Amino acid sequence: MKNSARVMHSISLLFLLLLLNGCGIPASTETSTDPWSTMDSILEQISRPAFPDQVYFVQDFGATTDGKEDARKAFTEAIKKCSSEGGGTVVAPAGDYLINGSIYLESNVNLRLEEGAYLRFSVDPAHYLPVVHTRWEGIELMNYSPLIYAFEEENIAITGHGTIDGQASEKNWWPWKGLADYGWKPGMPLQESEESKYRLIRLNEDRAPVDERIFGSGTYLRPNLIQPNRCTNILIEGITIKNSPMWVIHPLLCENVIIQDVKVISHGPNSDGCDPESCKNVLIDGCYFDTGDDCIALKSGRNQDGREINRPIENVVIRNCQMKDGHGGVVIGSEVSGGARNIFATDCQMDSPNLERAIRIKTNKVRGGTLENLFFRNLKVGQVSEAVVKINANYTIDTKTELEFIPVIRNIYIDQINSSKSKYGILIDGYDATHPVNNVHITNCRFEGVGEGNLIENVSDLTTSDIVINGVNWSWNN
């Protein structure tokens, strides 16, 4: 049986490397037995954007630092001038800046927030009109502008050691979720309504053109905080981001993205820390997440839009990050209809009684998608409230559609995960016996303080080696 398992494992590795090579990632003959070696090939494809030496100070364009006068116009004019003159760095020195509306980033501009610079964004929805082309939970639409936005730009950055505060709270954006914990009361507007979220879902299912999906004023779909949309060569580095209306950092349909040494603190509903969606070649490195939803969630569009645009989230490296509160540490889904492939997460720390899972993969028969070549290694997990590893192909469905797109989940490698407290160690819920999660390898893991063991259903080719749960060696016997 052991020799047979080794043969099957070698065949799986060969098949996986052929898949990776087909995605533009070379498979070296010297490292062909180690699928992790492809992570280096991805990193070689990711590069930092470069900017000319010109510097533009926002004070020279009329910005004040007392936090009382609107500085948006000064930021806008500085960015426009910088971009029109070939690019450079727009600098916000230490001070308090009130921003009444969106900041639009343009090509070849690095917006640098120096230490002590504090940007406070307005919470008046009218300040984020007119509507712009964006996505809301994976669906294309015209909606309120993200607080910091770019569309079809290249070579853009937000750097420095300043702070961006969306100022979202139970008194403004967050009640739109419709939950009493976030300030909602009966009679108040909410996103979970026929006029807002469910109308958008119907438009998605009916394949309505984006220019007919007009939301914004009179609807209650909260904007993201930072969204480069259809951009290339993006750097977000060093800053602290707080209190987002919804998703915090949301690169959408972008290529060559670096998010490094960023600190995210936002405990509102759907306050995902970083959601690269339908992006290629992404590095998330050395970041800190303390969030009200998933810390990092990788996505590729929802339902019809995800399938028709057909842009997977691919070639992603997550390393050296710290996750505190959140629904999941590293998550793939649930808006993943365009697929996910070649995802690597390594050398991260996750620990909080308010962190529900360390690794989470989630989709369902409406989302569908092919999720493959997923690698998790050397994760130090303290306490999580549910499972250390959760793979769920039957995630909650919130639409009445009868369409069925059965997800494919395969080629998952989990190695060197140590945890100290959880309800489950491993929780796998494949779609059904005919469409199981396939080719999963879990090795060299120590799960302590596990309350209810493992719960595994509908999986094929699950290989385990050197797994200890509550001090006892454990192996999978199907």
Catalogue the active-site residues.
Answer: 293, 327
Q: How far apart are the first and last CA of the chain?
A: 13
Sorted by sequence, the CB contacts under 8 Å of residue 209 that are 6+ apart come out as none
Q: For residues 320 and 340, what is the distance between their CA atoms, to the nearest angstrom?
A: 21
* Residue 394 burial (CB count, 10 A): 16
**Whole-angstrom distance, CA of residue 40 vs CA of residue 21:** 13
In terms of C-beta distances under 8 Å and separation of at least 24 residues, what long-range contacts does 465-474 make, across chains too? 465/441, 467/442, 467/443, 469/425
User: What's the CA gap between 72 and 128, in Å, rounded?
Assistant: 12
Q: Answer for the pair 267, 241: CB distance below 8 angstroms, yes or no.
A: no
Cα-to-chain-centroid distance, residue 458 = 27
Query: Does residue 36 contact residue 377 with C-beta atoms inside 8 Å?
Result: yes
**Contact 178/196 with Cβ under 8 angstroms?**
no
**Which conformational region is residue 311 in: left (phi greater than 0), alpha (psi within -120 to 50 degrees), or beta?**
beta
Interatomic CA distance for residues 6 and 333, integer angstroms? 31
* Total Cβ atoms within 10 A of residue 202: 14
Q: How far is CA 428 from CA 100, 311, 454, in A?
A: 46, 26, 8
The 3-state DSSP composition of the chain as helix, strand, coil percent (nearest 5) reads 15, 40, 40
Quote the CA–CA distance of 227 and 335 in Å, as a whole number.
Answer: 17
Phi, psi of 156 (to 5 degrees): -130, 150
Is residue 333 a contact partner of residue 294, using CB atoms and an 8 Å limit?
no
Give the contacts of 194 (CB within 8 A, at least 6 positions apart).
none
| Cis preceding-peptide flag for 300 (omega within 30 of 0) | no
Q: Is 130 exposed, middle or buried (0-12, 13-18, 19+ CB in 10 A)?
A: exposed
User: In 157-235, where does DSSP find H-type helix?
Assistant: 197-205
